[in-house]
Structure 1
Amino acid sequence: MTKTTPRPLKIAVYLLLIAGSVFMVFPFIWMISTSLKTVGAIAQMPPQLIPNPINFDNYVTIWNKVNFGRYTLNSFFIVVLDMIGSLLSCSLVAFGLAMYKFKLKGPIYIVMLATLMVPGQVTMIPTYFIWKEFNALNSYYPLIVPSFLAGAFGIFLMHQYIKSLPKELYESAVIDGCSPPGIFFKIYLPLCKPALAALGVFTFMGAWNNTLGPLIYLQEKSLYTLPLGLLYLKSENVNQALMMAGAVITTLPVVLVYLFAQKQFVQGIASSGLKG
Protein backbone atom coordinates (compact mmCIF):
# COMPACT_ATOMS: atom_id res chain seq x y z
CA MET A 1 0.00 0.00 0.00
CA THR A 2 1.08 3.59 -0.71
CA LYS A 3 0.35 6.95 0.90
CA THR A 4 -2.41 7.53 -1.64
CA THR A 5 -4.26 4.33 -0.67
CA PRO A 6 -7.72 5.21 0.73
CA ARG A 7 -7.93 4.96 4.51
CA PRO A 8 -10.95 2.57 4.51
CA LEU A 9 -9.02 0.19 2.26
CA LYS A 10 -6.02 0.30 4.62
CA ILE A 11 -8.22 -0.48 7.60
CA ALA A 12 -9.86 -3.37 5.76
CA VAL A 13 -6.49 -4.81 4.77
CA TYR A 14 -5.11 -4.53 8.32
CA LEU A 15 -8.22 -6.16 9.78
CA LEU A 16 -7.90 -8.98 7.26
CA LEU A 17 -4.24 -9.48 8.16
CA ILE A 18 -5.03 -9.47 11.89
CA ALA A 19 -7.81 -12.02 11.36
CA GLY A 20 -5.47 -14.20 9.31
CA SER A 21 -2.77 -13.98 11.98
CA VAL A 22 -5.20 -15.00 14.72
CA PHE A 23 -6.42 -17.88 12.57
CA MET A 24 -2.86 -19.11 12.06
CA VAL A 25 -1.74 -18.69 15.69
CA PHE A 26 -4.86 -20.05 17.38
CA PRO A 27 -4.01 -23.78 16.93
CA PHE A 28 -0.64 -23.21 18.63
CA ILE A 29 -2.33 -21.30 21.48
CA TRP A 30 -4.93 -24.05 21.86
CA MET A 31 -2.17 -26.67 21.92
CA ILE A 32 -0.44 -24.86 24.80
CA SER A 33 -3.76 -24.38 26.59
CA THR A 34 -4.65 -28.07 26.33
CA SER A 35 -1.20 -29.11 27.55
CA LEU A 36 -1.82 -27.17 30.79
CA LYS A 37 -5.21 -28.73 31.53
CA THR A 38 -6.20 -31.67 33.67
CA VAL A 39 -7.92 -34.64 32.06
CA GLY A 40 -11.30 -33.50 33.37
CA ALA A 41 -10.86 -29.94 32.11
CA ILE A 42 -10.29 -31.12 28.55
CA ALA A 43 -13.87 -32.38 28.24
CA GLN A 44 -15.36 -29.36 29.98
CA MET A 45 -18.08 -27.47 28.12
CA PRO A 46 -17.83 -24.72 27.10
CA PRO A 47 -14.10 -25.17 26.41
CA GLN A 48 -11.65 -23.05 28.42
CA LEU A 49 -8.94 -21.17 26.55
CA ILE A 50 -7.18 -20.24 29.80
CA PRO A 51 -6.91 -23.37 31.99
CA ASN A 52 -8.22 -23.13 35.53
CA PRO A 53 -6.29 -24.44 37.34
CA ILE A 54 -3.07 -24.40 35.32
CA ASN A 55 -1.51 -27.86 35.48
CA PHE A 56 2.22 -28.36 34.76
CA ASP A 57 2.17 -32.02 35.77
CA ASN A 58 1.73 -33.04 32.14
CA TYR A 59 5.17 -31.66 31.28
CA VAL A 60 6.78 -33.29 34.31
CA THR A 61 5.20 -36.63 33.44
CA ILE A 62 6.09 -36.56 29.77
CA TRP A 63 9.63 -35.30 30.40
CA ASN A 64 10.55 -37.90 33.03
CA LYS A 65 8.22 -40.88 32.84
CA VAL A 66 7.69 -40.93 29.08
CA ASN A 67 11.41 -40.19 28.49
CA PHE A 68 10.89 -37.05 26.40
CA GLY A 69 14.02 -35.62 28.00
CA ARG A 70 16.07 -38.34 26.29
CA TYR A 71 14.18 -37.87 23.01
CA THR A 72 14.95 -34.14 23.12
CA LEU A 73 18.68 -34.76 23.62
CA ASN A 74 18.64 -37.27 20.76
CA SER A 75 16.96 -34.75 18.45
CA PHE A 76 19.42 -31.99 19.35
CA PHE A 77 22.37 -34.35 18.82
CA ILE A 78 21.21 -35.22 15.31
CA VAL A 79 20.26 -31.64 14.42
CA VAL A 80 23.57 -30.12 15.54
CA LEU A 81 25.63 -32.62 13.53
CA ASP A 82 23.32 -32.24 10.53
CA MET A 83 23.72 -28.47 10.61
CA ILE A 84 27.52 -28.67 10.90
CA GLY A 85 27.72 -31.17 8.04
CA SER A 86 25.27 -29.38 5.77
CA LEU A 87 26.67 -25.85 6.25
CA LEU A 88 30.26 -26.95 5.79
CA SER A 89 29.84 -29.36 2.87
CA CYS A 90 27.31 -27.28 0.91
CA SER A 91 29.28 -24.05 1.23
CA LEU A 92 32.52 -25.80 0.26
CA VAL A 93 31.05 -27.41 -2.87
CA ALA A 94 29.26 -24.18 -3.81
CA PHE A 95 32.50 -22.23 -3.46
CA GLY A 96 34.27 -24.62 -5.82
CA LEU A 97 31.48 -24.46 -8.41
CA ALA A 98 31.24 -20.67 -8.24
CA MET A 99 34.94 -19.77 -8.20
CA TYR A 100 36.70 -22.33 -10.38
CA LYS A 101 36.43 -23.36 -14.01
CA PHE A 102 36.97 -27.01 -14.86
CA LYS A 103 35.89 -29.57 -17.43
CA LEU A 104 32.27 -30.75 -17.22
CA LYS A 105 31.44 -28.08 -14.64
CA GLY A 106 28.17 -27.21 -16.41
CA PRO A 107 26.88 -30.79 -16.77
CA ILE A 108 27.84 -31.61 -13.17
CA TYR A 109 25.89 -28.59 -11.93
CA ILE A 110 22.85 -29.48 -14.06
CA VAL A 111 22.86 -33.11 -12.88
CA MET A 112 23.15 -31.90 -9.29
CA LEU A 113 20.08 -29.66 -9.73
CA ALA A 114 18.22 -32.49 -11.47
CA THR A 115 18.42 -34.55 -8.28
CA LEU A 116 16.01 -32.04 -6.71
CA MET A 117 13.29 -33.44 -8.97
CA VAL A 118 13.78 -37.01 -7.72
CA PRO A 119 11.23 -37.81 -4.97
CA GLY A 120 12.67 -39.19 -1.76
CA GLN A 121 10.32 -42.19 -2.01
CA VAL A 122 12.19 -43.34 -5.13
CA THR A 123 15.53 -43.64 -3.34
CA MET A 124 14.16 -44.73 0.06
CA ILE A 125 14.36 -48.51 -0.44
CA PRO A 126 17.77 -48.59 -2.22
CA THR A 127 19.20 -46.29 0.45
CA TYR A 128 17.83 -48.56 3.19
CA PHE A 129 19.58 -51.61 1.74
CA ILE A 130 22.83 -49.65 1.34
CA TRP A 131 22.82 -48.80 5.05
CA LYS A 132 21.86 -52.38 5.83
CA GLU A 133 24.98 -53.58 4.01
CA PHE A 134 27.04 -51.24 6.19
CA ASN A 135 25.36 -52.67 9.34
CA ALA A 136 24.24 -49.11 10.17
CA LEU A 137 20.60 -49.85 10.93
CA ASN A 138 19.32 -48.87 14.37
CA SER A 139 21.94 -46.11 14.56
CA TYR A 140 22.19 -42.41 13.78
CA TYR A 141 24.59 -42.86 10.84
CA PRO A 142 21.85 -42.87 8.15
CA LEU A 143 20.45 -39.64 9.62
CA ILE A 144 23.76 -37.78 10.00
CA VAL A 145 26.24 -38.94 7.33
CA PRO A 146 24.20 -37.69 4.30
CA SER A 147 24.40 -34.12 5.63
CA PHE A 148 28.19 -34.23 5.24
CA LEU A 149 27.82 -35.16 1.55
CA ALA A 150 26.27 -31.81 0.49
CA GLY A 151 22.63 -31.66 -0.59
CA ALA A 152 21.60 -30.17 -3.92
CA PHE A 153 19.34 -27.48 -2.43
CA GLY A 154 22.04 -26.28 -0.02
CA ILE A 155 24.63 -26.17 -2.80
CA PHE A 156 22.29 -24.16 -5.01
CA LEU A 157 21.46 -21.71 -2.22
CA MET A 158 25.11 -21.11 -1.32
CA HIS A 159 26.21 -21.06 -4.98
CA GLN A 160 23.78 -18.27 -5.82
CA TYR A 161 24.96 -16.19 -2.87
CA ILE A 162 28.68 -16.70 -3.50
CA LYS A 163 28.25 -15.75 -7.17
CA SER A 164 26.70 -12.45 -6.06
CA LEU A 165 29.90 -11.49 -4.20
CA PRO A 166 32.54 -9.42 -6.03
CA LYS A 167 35.02 -11.61 -7.93
CA GLU A 168 37.73 -9.07 -7.07
CA LEU A 169 37.80 -10.45 -3.52
CA TYR A 170 39.11 -13.75 -4.80
CA GLU A 171 41.57 -12.15 -7.22
CA SER A 172 42.98 -9.84 -4.53
CA ALA A 173 43.43 -12.72 -2.13
CA VAL A 174 45.27 -14.75 -4.75
CA ILE A 175 47.61 -11.82 -5.46
CA ASP A 176 48.31 -11.55 -1.72
CA GLY A 177 49.35 -15.21 -1.70
CA CYS A 178 46.35 -16.64 0.13
CA SER A 179 45.65 -20.34 -0.50
CA PRO A 180 42.20 -21.55 -1.71
CA PRO A 181 41.28 -22.96 1.74
CA GLY A 182 42.36 -19.67 3.31
CA ILE A 183 40.26 -17.70 0.84
CA PHE A 184 37.25 -19.87 1.60
CA PHE A 185 37.48 -19.89 5.40
CA LYS A 186 38.87 -16.39 6.00
CA ILE A 187 37.09 -14.33 3.33
CA TYR A 188 34.07 -15.99 1.74
CA LEU A 189 32.67 -17.99 4.64
CA PRO A 190 32.33 -14.92 6.94
CA LEU A 191 30.66 -13.00 4.11
CA CYS A 192 28.14 -15.83 3.60
CA LYS A 193 26.55 -15.47 7.05
CA PRO A 194 23.07 -14.51 5.69
CA ALA A 195 22.99 -17.48 3.30
CA LEU A 196 24.40 -19.77 6.00
CA ALA A 197 21.67 -18.59 8.38
CA ALA A 198 18.98 -19.36 5.79
CA LEU A 199 20.45 -22.79 5.07
CA GLY A 200 20.83 -23.39 8.81
CA VAL A 201 17.13 -22.71 9.40
CA PHE A 202 16.12 -25.02 6.55
CA THR A 203 18.46 -27.74 7.83
CA PHE A 204 17.25 -27.36 11.41
CA MET A 205 13.57 -27.60 10.45
CA GLY A 206 14.18 -30.54 8.14
CA ALA A 207 16.24 -32.51 10.67
CA TRP A 208 14.10 -31.60 13.68
CA ASN A 209 10.81 -32.51 12.00
CA ASN A 210 12.17 -35.59 10.25
CA THR A 211 9.83 -38.45 11.09
CA LEU A 212 10.21 -40.91 8.22
CA GLY A 213 13.99 -41.29 8.52
CA PRO A 214 14.06 -42.19 12.24
CA LEU A 215 10.96 -44.36 11.75
CA ILE A 216 12.79 -46.42 9.11
CA TYR A 217 16.20 -46.74 10.75
CA LEU A 218 15.62 -46.64 14.53
CA GLN A 219 14.14 -49.51 16.52
CA GLU A 220 15.31 -48.99 20.11
CA LYS A 221 13.22 -46.56 22.14
CA SER A 222 16.36 -45.08 23.71
CA LEU A 223 17.34 -43.80 20.23
CA TYR A 224 13.97 -42.21 19.43
CA THR A 225 13.75 -38.55 18.38
CA LEU A 226 10.89 -36.25 19.37
CA PRO A 227 8.70 -36.96 16.29
CA LEU A 228 9.00 -40.69 17.01
CA GLY A 229 8.22 -39.95 20.66
CA LEU A 230 4.95 -38.34 19.58
CA LEU A 231 4.10 -41.35 17.43
CA TYR A 232 4.84 -43.58 20.40
CA LEU A 233 2.46 -41.54 22.57
CA LYS A 234 -0.26 -41.90 19.95
CA SER A 235 0.22 -45.66 19.79
CA GLU A 236 -0.07 -45.86 23.58
CA ASN A 237 -3.41 -43.97 23.51
CA VAL A 238 -2.36 -41.51 26.23
CA ASN A 239 -4.67 -38.64 27.15
CA GLN A 240 -4.86 -35.53 25.01
CA ALA A 241 -3.16 -33.29 27.58
CA LEU A 242 0.01 -35.42 27.51
CA MET A 243 -0.08 -35.48 23.71
CA MET A 244 -0.31 -31.70 23.56
CA ALA A 245 2.53 -31.33 26.09
CA GLY A 246 4.70 -33.50 23.84
CA ALA A 247 3.65 -31.46 20.81
CA VAL A 248 4.63 -28.21 22.56
CA ILE A 249 8.08 -29.58 23.44
CA THR A 250 8.52 -30.70 19.82
CA THR A 251 7.27 -27.47 18.22
CA LEU A 252 8.77 -24.81 20.49
CA PRO A 253 12.44 -25.08 19.34
CA VAL A 254 11.43 -24.62 15.69
CA VAL A 255 9.43 -21.50 16.54
CA LEU A 256 12.27 -20.04 18.61
CA VAL A 257 14.90 -20.72 15.95
CA TYR A 258 12.81 -19.05 13.27
CA LEU A 259 12.02 -16.02 15.44
CA PHE A 260 15.65 -15.40 16.38
CA ALA A 261 17.03 -16.08 12.89
CA GLN A 262 14.18 -14.45 10.93
CA LYS A 263 16.14 -11.38 9.83
CA GLN A 264 19.15 -13.37 8.60
CA PHE A 265 16.86 -15.97 7.06
CA VAL A 266 14.95 -13.42 4.95
CA GLN A 267 18.17 -11.60 4.02
CA GLY A 268 19.83 -14.82 2.93
CA ILE A 269 16.88 -15.89 0.78
CA ALA A 270 16.64 -12.43 -0.85
CA SER A 271 20.38 -12.23 -1.52
CA SER A 272 20.56 -15.68 -3.08
CA GLY A 273 17.80 -14.87 -5.55
CA LEU A 274 15.38 -17.60 -4.36
CA LYS A 275 11.69 -16.85 -4.68
CA GLY A 276 8.72 -18.61 -3.16
Structure 2
Amino acid sequence: MTKNTPLPIKIVLYILLLAGAFVMVFPFIWMLSTSLKTVGAIAEMPPKLIPSPIDFSNYVTAWNKVNFGRYTLNSFIIVVFDLVGALLSSAMVAFGLAMYQFKLRGPLFVIMLATMMVPSQVTMIPTYFIWKELGGLDSFAPLIVPSFLGGAFGIFLMHQFLKSLPKELYESATIDGSSPPGIFFRIYLPLAKPALAALAVFTFMGAWNNTLGPLIYLQTKELYTLPLGLLYLKSENVNQALLMAGSVITTAPVVGVYLIAQKQFVEGIASTGIKG
Protein backbone atom coordinates (compact mmCIF):
# COMPACT_ATOMS: atom_id res chain seq x y z
CA MET A 1 0.00 0.00 0.00
CA THR A 2 1.43 3.37 -1.05
CA LYS A 3 0.37 7.01 -0.85
CA ASN A 4 -0.96 6.79 -4.39
CA THR A 5 -3.25 3.86 -3.62
CA PRO A 6 -6.88 4.82 -4.35
CA LEU A 7 -9.05 5.39 -1.27
CA PRO A 8 -11.58 2.59 -2.04
CA ILE A 9 -8.74 0.06 -2.29
CA LYS A 10 -7.29 1.33 1.00
CA ILE A 11 -10.65 0.90 2.70
CA VAL A 12 -11.00 -2.66 1.40
CA LEU A 13 -7.46 -3.53 2.49
CA TYR A 14 -8.00 -2.08 5.97
CA ILE A 15 -11.24 -4.05 6.32
CA LEU A 16 -9.44 -7.25 5.32
CA LEU A 17 -6.62 -6.51 7.78
CA LEU A 18 -9.07 -5.83 10.60
CA ALA A 19 -10.98 -9.02 9.78
CA GLY A 20 -7.76 -11.04 9.80
CA ALA A 21 -6.68 -9.43 13.09
CA PHE A 22 -10.05 -10.24 14.66
CA VAL A 23 -9.83 -13.89 13.58
CA MET A 24 -6.36 -14.15 15.13
CA VAL A 25 -7.15 -12.31 18.36
CA PHE A 26 -10.65 -13.64 19.11
CA PRO A 27 -9.51 -17.04 20.49
CA PHE A 28 -7.35 -15.22 23.04
CA ILE A 29 -10.24 -12.91 23.97
CA TRP A 30 -12.54 -15.92 24.41
CA MET A 31 -9.89 -17.73 26.48
CA LEU A 32 -9.57 -14.70 28.78
CA SER A 33 -13.35 -14.30 29.01
CA THR A 34 -13.90 -17.96 29.89
CA SER A 35 -11.17 -17.87 32.54
CA LEU A 36 -13.12 -15.15 34.38
CA LYS A 37 -16.48 -16.97 34.39
CA THR A 38 -18.14 -18.96 37.12
CA VAL A 39 -19.05 -22.61 36.52
CA GLY A 40 -22.67 -21.67 35.94
CA ALA A 41 -21.82 -18.88 33.49
CA ILE A 42 -19.87 -21.30 31.28
CA ALA A 43 -23.02 -23.24 30.42
CA GLU A 44 -25.12 -20.15 29.64
CA MET A 45 -26.75 -20.05 26.21
CA PRO A 46 -26.17 -17.95 24.28
CA PRO A 47 -22.64 -17.54 25.64
CA LYS A 48 -21.57 -14.10 26.84
CA LEU A 49 -18.26 -12.55 25.89
CA ILE A 50 -18.18 -10.28 28.94
CA PRO A 51 -18.60 -12.45 32.06
CA SER A 52 -20.99 -11.39 34.78
CA PRO A 53 -19.96 -11.71 37.52
CA ILE A 54 -16.18 -11.66 36.95
CA ASP A 55 -14.50 -14.44 38.94
CA PHE A 56 -10.73 -14.15 39.52
CA SER A 57 -10.67 -17.13 41.86
CA ASN A 58 -10.14 -19.45 38.89
CA TYR A 59 -6.55 -18.23 38.62
CA VAL A 60 -5.85 -18.86 42.30
CA THR A 61 -7.39 -22.33 42.13
CA ALA A 62 -5.55 -23.28 38.94
CA TRP A 63 -2.24 -21.89 40.28
CA ASN A 64 -2.44 -23.93 43.47
CA LYS A 65 -4.02 -27.09 42.06
CA VAL A 66 -1.01 -28.23 40.00
CA ASN A 67 1.88 -26.22 41.49
CA PHE A 68 2.06 -23.66 38.69
CA GLY A 69 4.60 -21.66 40.71
CA ARG A 70 7.18 -24.43 40.49
CA TYR A 71 6.40 -25.09 36.83
CA THR A 72 6.81 -21.38 36.01
CA LEU A 73 10.23 -21.35 37.67
CA ASN A 74 11.28 -24.45 35.73
CA SER A 75 10.19 -22.87 32.45
CA PHE A 76 12.11 -19.69 33.21
CA ILE A 77 15.27 -21.65 34.04
CA ILE A 78 15.12 -23.52 30.73
CA VAL A 79 14.27 -20.38 28.74
CA VAL A 80 17.13 -18.32 30.22
CA PHE A 81 19.73 -20.98 29.43
CA ASP A 82 18.26 -21.54 25.97
CA LEU A 83 18.40 -17.82 25.25
CA VAL A 84 22.04 -17.53 26.30
CA GLY A 85 23.05 -20.66 24.42
CA ALA A 86 21.12 -19.96 21.22
CA LEU A 87 22.13 -16.30 20.91
CA LEU A 88 25.80 -16.87 21.69
CA SER A 89 26.34 -20.02 19.62
CA SER A 90 24.32 -18.83 16.62
CA ALA A 91 26.03 -15.44 16.55
CA MET A 92 29.53 -16.94 16.83
CA VAL A 93 29.00 -19.52 14.08
CA ALA A 94 27.31 -16.95 11.84
CA PHE A 95 30.20 -14.50 12.40
CA GLY A 96 32.73 -17.13 11.30
CA LEU A 97 30.73 -18.03 8.19
CA ALA A 98 30.14 -14.41 7.23
CA MET A 99 33.61 -12.99 7.86
CA TYR A 100 36.03 -15.76 6.91
CA GLN A 101 36.72 -17.56 3.65
CA PHE A 102 37.90 -21.15 4.03
CA LYS A 103 37.66 -24.47 2.23
CA LEU A 104 34.32 -26.26 2.41
CA ARG A 105 32.67 -23.10 3.71
CA GLY A 106 29.95 -23.27 1.04
CA PRO A 107 29.19 -27.01 1.42
CA LEU A 108 29.12 -26.71 5.22
CA PHE A 109 26.67 -23.82 5.00
CA VAL A 110 24.43 -25.79 2.63
CA ILE A 111 24.56 -28.90 4.84
CA MET A 112 23.66 -26.78 7.86
CA LEU A 113 20.64 -25.31 6.01
CA ALA A 114 19.63 -28.81 4.88
CA THR A 115 19.16 -29.84 8.52
CA MET A 116 16.21 -27.43 8.65
CA MET A 117 14.41 -29.73 6.20
CA VAL A 118 14.81 -32.81 8.42
CA PRO A 119 11.66 -33.34 10.54
CA SER A 120 12.35 -33.44 14.25
CA GLN A 121 10.46 -36.73 14.44
CA VAL A 122 13.25 -38.37 12.44
CA THR A 123 15.90 -37.60 15.06
CA MET A 124 13.66 -37.85 18.11
CA ILE A 125 14.23 -41.55 18.89
CA PRO A 126 18.03 -41.58 18.27
CA THR A 127 18.39 -38.42 20.36
CA TYR A 128 16.38 -39.98 23.19
CA PHE A 129 18.67 -43.04 23.31
CA ILE A 130 21.77 -40.83 23.22
CA TRP A 131 20.57 -38.94 26.28
CA LYS A 132 19.61 -42.22 27.92
CA GLU A 133 23.17 -43.52 27.50
CA LEU A 134 24.55 -40.23 28.82
CA GLY A 135 22.27 -40.42 31.88
CA GLY A 136 20.50 -37.19 31.01
CA LEU A 137 16.91 -38.38 31.26
CA ASP A 138 14.61 -36.74 33.81
CA SER A 139 16.74 -33.59 33.84
CA PHE A 140 16.88 -30.23 32.08
CA ALA A 141 20.06 -31.17 30.19
CA PRO A 142 18.34 -32.46 26.99
CA LEU A 143 16.30 -29.25 26.87
CA ILE A 144 19.24 -26.87 27.46
CA VAL A 145 22.46 -28.34 26.05
CA PRO A 146 21.35 -28.41 22.36
CA SER A 147 20.87 -24.64 22.39
CA PHE A 148 24.61 -24.18 23.04
CA LEU A 149 25.46 -26.21 19.93
CA GLY A 150 23.90 -23.78 17.47
CA GLY A 151 20.74 -24.12 15.42
CA ALA A 152 20.40 -23.86 11.66
CA PHE A 153 17.63 -21.25 11.79
CA GLY A 154 19.45 -19.01 14.27
CA ILE A 155 22.75 -19.27 12.41
CA PHE A 156 21.07 -18.45 9.11
CA LEU A 157 19.24 -15.47 10.62
CA MET A 158 22.41 -14.05 12.16
CA HIS A 159 24.49 -14.85 9.07
CA GLN A 160 22.21 -12.84 6.80
CA PHE A 161 22.42 -9.83 9.09
CA LEU A 162 26.18 -9.95 9.72
CA LYS A 163 26.84 -10.48 6.03
CA SER A 164 25.03 -7.22 5.27
CA LEU A 165 27.43 -5.21 7.45
CA PRO A 166 30.41 -3.61 5.66
CA LYS A 167 33.57 -5.71 5.85
CA GLU A 168 35.56 -2.49 6.21
CA LEU A 169 34.57 -2.60 9.89
CA TYR A 170 36.45 -5.87 10.32
CA GLU A 171 39.45 -4.68 8.30
CA SER A 172 39.70 -1.40 10.22
CA ALA A 173 39.46 -3.16 13.58
CA THR A 174 42.15 -5.64 12.50
CA ILE A 175 44.47 -2.81 11.49
CA ASP A 176 43.89 -1.19 14.89
CA GLY A 177 45.11 -4.42 16.52
CA SER A 178 41.82 -5.95 17.67
CA SER A 179 41.62 -9.74 17.91
CA PRO A 180 38.74 -11.68 16.25
CA PRO A 181 36.96 -12.24 19.61
CA GLY A 182 37.33 -8.55 20.41
CA ILE A 183 35.93 -7.57 17.03
CA PHE A 184 33.02 -9.95 17.49
CA PHE A 185 32.04 -8.89 21.01
CA ARG A 186 32.84 -5.17 20.82
CA ILE A 187 31.82 -4.28 17.26
CA TYR A 188 29.62 -6.80 15.50
CA LEU A 189 27.56 -8.07 18.42
CA PRO A 190 26.32 -4.58 19.43
CA LEU A 191 25.48 -3.83 15.79
CA ALA A 192 23.50 -7.08 15.55
CA LYS A 193 20.97 -6.11 18.24
CA PRO A 194 17.95 -6.15 15.85
CA ALA A 195 18.78 -9.67 14.62
CA LEU A 196 19.54 -10.83 18.16
CA ALA A 197 16.19 -9.46 19.33
CA ALA A 198 14.36 -11.34 16.59
CA LEU A 199 16.22 -14.55 17.40
CA ALA A 200 15.57 -14.03 21.11
CA VAL A 201 11.81 -13.81 20.51
CA PHE A 202 11.83 -16.96 18.38
CA THR A 203 13.96 -18.80 20.95
CA PHE A 204 11.80 -17.68 23.86
CA MET A 205 8.60 -18.75 22.13
CA GLY A 206 10.07 -22.10 21.11
CA ALA A 207 11.48 -22.90 24.55
CA TRP A 208 8.48 -21.61 26.52
CA ASN A 209 5.89 -23.42 24.39
CA ASN A 210 7.92 -26.62 24.03
CA THR A 211 5.64 -29.46 25.08
CA LEU A 212 7.01 -32.52 23.32
CA GLY A 213 10.58 -32.17 24.64
CA PRO A 214 9.67 -32.00 28.35
CA LEU A 215 7.02 -34.69 27.80
CA ILE A 216 9.70 -37.07 26.47
CA TYR A 217 12.54 -36.34 28.90
CA LEU A 218 10.90 -35.33 32.18
CA GLN A 219 9.22 -37.85 34.47
CA THR A 220 9.39 -36.16 37.89
CA LYS A 221 6.47 -33.78 38.46
CA GLU A 222 8.71 -31.27 40.24
CA LEU A 223 10.63 -30.80 36.97
CA TYR A 224 7.55 -30.15 34.82
CA THR A 225 7.36 -26.98 32.76
CA LEU A 226 4.24 -24.85 32.28
CA PRO A 227 2.99 -26.67 29.14
CA LEU A 228 3.21 -29.98 31.02
CA GLY A 229 1.50 -28.34 33.97
CA LEU A 230 -1.33 -27.35 31.68
CA LEU A 231 -1.61 -30.93 30.41
CA TYR A 232 -1.60 -32.17 34.00
CA LEU A 233 -4.36 -29.69 34.86
CA LYS A 234 -6.41 -30.99 31.93
CA SER A 235 -5.94 -34.58 33.11
CA GLU A 236 -7.53 -33.62 36.42
CA ASN A 237 -10.89 -33.19 34.61
CA VAL A 238 -11.32 -29.63 35.86
CA ASN A 239 -13.99 -27.31 34.51
CA GLN A 240 -13.37 -25.18 31.45
CA ALA A 241 -12.88 -21.96 33.42
CA LEU A 242 -9.95 -23.43 35.39
CA LEU A 243 -8.43 -24.84 32.20
CA MET A 244 -8.66 -21.45 30.47
CA ALA A 245 -7.14 -19.76 33.53
CA GLY A 246 -4.19 -22.13 33.28
CA SER A 247 -3.95 -21.36 29.56
CA VAL A 248 -3.82 -17.63 30.26
CA ILE A 249 -1.07 -18.15 32.84
CA THR A 250 0.92 -20.17 30.30
CA THR A 251 0.34 -17.77 27.39
CA ALA A 252 0.74 -14.40 29.11
CA PRO A 253 4.59 -14.35 29.25
CA VAL A 254 4.85 -15.07 25.50
CA VAL A 255 2.42 -12.27 24.63
CA GLY A 256 4.22 -9.90 27.01
CA VAL A 257 7.65 -10.62 25.54
CA TYR A 258 6.41 -10.15 22.00
CA LEU A 259 4.71 -6.83 22.82
CA ILE A 260 7.83 -5.53 24.56
CA ALA A 261 10.22 -6.62 21.79
CA GLN A 262 7.85 -6.05 18.88
CA LYS A 263 9.75 -3.12 17.36
CA GLN A 264 13.13 -4.87 17.55
CA PHE A 265 11.59 -8.10 16.31
CA VAL A 266 10.16 -6.48 13.18
CA GLU A 267 13.40 -4.59 12.52
CA GLY A 268 15.43 -7.76 12.88
CA ILE A 269 13.24 -9.76 10.52
CA ALA A 270 13.19 -6.94 7.96
CA SER A 271 16.95 -6.42 8.05
CA THR A 272 17.76 -10.11 7.67
CA GLY A 273 15.18 -10.60 4.96
CA ILE A 274 15.92 -7.75 2.55
CA LYS A 275 19.69 -7.63 2.77
CA GLY A 276 22.55 -9.99 2.06
Instruction: Please confirm whether the aligned pair reaches a TM-score higher than 0.5, indicating the same fold.
Output: yes
Say if 1:2 and 1:177 are closer, same or farther in 2 by CA, change over 3 A.
Answer: closer
Q: CA deviation at 1:7?
A: 3.0
1:167-206 equivalent positions in 2, closer than 5 A: 167-206=167-206
State the identity as a percent.
79
**Paired position in structure 2 for 1:222:** 222
Higher mean C-alpha displacement, 84-93 vs 60-69: 60-69
Higher mean C-alpha displacement, 84-93 vs 247-256: 247-256
Q: 8 Å contact 2:142–2:217 — kept in the other structure?
A: yes
TM-score, structure 2 normalization:
0.96
Q: CA deviation at 1:104?
A: 1.7
**Paired position in structure 2 for 1:25:** 25
Q: Which amino acid aligns with 1:34?
A: T
SS at match of 1:154: helix
Q: CA deviation at 1:273?
A: 2.1
CA distance in 2, matches of 1:22, 1:111: 41
CA distance in 2, matches of 1:53, 1:118: 50
**Paired position in structure 1 for 2:150:** 150
CA distance in 2, matches of 1:113, 1:11: 41
Unaligned 5+ segments in structure 1 are none
CA distance in 2, matches of 1:25, 1:113: 33
1:54-93 equivalent positions in 2, closer than 5 A: 54-93=54-93
Q: Which amino acid aligns with 1:44?
A: E
Say if 1:148 and 1:154 are closer, same or farther in 2 by CA, change over 3 A.
Answer: same
1:31-180 equivalent positions in 2, closer than 5 A: 31-180=31-180
Higher mean C-alpha displacement, 214-223 vs 94-103: 94-103
Say if 1:113 and 1:12 are closer, same or farther in 2 by CA, change over 3 A.
Answer: closer
CA distance in 1, matches of 2:3, 2:90: 44
SS at match of 2:48: coil
CA distance in 2, matches of 1:145, 1:59: 33
Q: Which amino acid aligns with 2:108?
A: I
**Paired position in structure 1 for 2:266:** 266
Say if 1:163 and 1:127 are closer, same or farther in 2 by CA, change over 3 A.
Answer: same
Q: CA deviation at 1:45?
A: 1.8
CA distance in 2, matches of 1:64, 1:274: 48
1:237-276 equivalent positions in 2, closer than 5 A: 237-273=237-273
CA distance in 1, matches of 2:4, 2:195: 36
Q: Which amino acid aligns with 1:210?
A: N
Per-residue Cα deviation, 1:22-69 (whole angstroms, up to 9, x for no partner): 222111111001001111111012212111111111111111232111
Per-residue Cα deviation, 1:153-185 (whole angstroms, up to 9, x for no partner): 111111111110010100011111111110000
Q: Which amino acid aligns with 1:99?
A: M
Aligned residues: 275
Q: 8 Å contact 2:66–2:232 — kept in the other structure?
A: no
CA distance in 2, matches of 1:122, 1:8: 50
CA distance in 2, matches of 1:253, 1:12: 34
SS at match of 2:158: helix
Say if 1:7 and 1:97 are closer, same or farther in 2 by CA, change over 3 A.
Answer: closer
Higher mean C-alpha displacement, 249-258 vs 214-223: 249-258
Unaligned 5+ segments in structure 2 are none
Q: Which amino acid aligns with 2:10?
A: K
